[in-house]
């Protein structure tokens, strides 16, 4: 009888720990809400700048940024398409890698605004790492950095990007 009790006590203790761990994991997954969409402002050399929309259904996601500007003297358009992959997700931060593609179009009516040609269009492309700080339940602030190829890959340099998103 004593051998059975010595064997049964550790077995019950291990079973208790497994059940407690399983219920805690379920509670954590219920409390953590994953928002798939984000709308905000993005600024970056390789991700584009302007009004930005994010869609991240799981670990893979995409971001589109767009900013048109026109007045009597110039026309400027920025369009960015960025691909994201979440590496680590927590309640307060997300760590990810990104690949950004930004197209810029500039047309100036007066050459004093732009030395040389009064038209330019080019692609910037970059890769890097980023971190998102969840500053409120539905608001995230992103900082990204890496390397970029600028002006149709005529130069390569470091790049920095940022964004502020409302999540839903």
**What's the pLDDT tens digit per position in 139-164?**
999 999 999 999 999 999 999 999 99
Comparison of pLDDT for 9 and 139, the residue scoring more: 139
Mean residue pLDDT across the chain: 86
Query: What's the pLDDT band for 119 if we cut at 50, 70, 90?
Result: confident
Class of domain 35-167: mainly beta
**What's the pLDDT tens digit per position in 23-72?**
444 444 555 678 999 999 999 999 999 999 999 999 999 999 999 999 99
Q: Domain residues of the chain, as ranges? A: 1-31, 35-167
pLDDT of residue 118: 73
For residues 102-128, average pLDDT: 82
Burial of 158 (0-12, 13-18, 19+ CB in 10 A): exposed
Query: What's the pLDDT band for 19 if we cut at 50, 70, 90?
Result: low
Q: Which helix (H) or strand (E) is 66 found in, with range?
A: strand 60-70
For residues 85-110, average pLDDT: 94
pLDDT of residue 23: 47
pLDDT of residue 56: 97
Closest CA to 54 of 153, 132, 146, 155: 132
Question: Taking a C-beta distance cutoff of 8 angstroms, is the pair 136, 128 a contact?
Answer: no
Q: How many Å apart are CA 15 and CA 3, to the nearest integer?
A: 19
């Amino acid at each position: 009888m004593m051998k059975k009790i010595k064997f049964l006590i550790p077995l019950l203790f291990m079973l208790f720990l497994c059940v407690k761990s399983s219920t805690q994991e379920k509670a954590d997954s219920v409390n953590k809400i994953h928002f798939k969409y984000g709308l905000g402002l993005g600024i970056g050399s390789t991700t584009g700048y302007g009004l930005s929309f994010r869609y991240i259904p799981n670990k893979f996601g995409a971001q589109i940024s767009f900013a048109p500007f026109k007045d009597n003297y110039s026309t400027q358009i920025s369009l960015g398409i960025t691909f994201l992959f979440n590496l680590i997700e927590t309640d307060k931060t997300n760590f990810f890698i990104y690949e950004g593609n930004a197209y810029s179009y500039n047309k100036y009516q007066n050459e004093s605004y732009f030395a040389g040609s009064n038209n330019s269009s080019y692609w910037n492309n970059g890769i890097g790492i980023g971190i998102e700080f969840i500053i409120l339940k539905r608001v995230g602030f992103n900082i990204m950095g890496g390397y970029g190829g600028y002006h149709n890959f005529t130069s390569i340099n470091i790049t920095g990007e940022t964004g502020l998103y409302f999540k839903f």
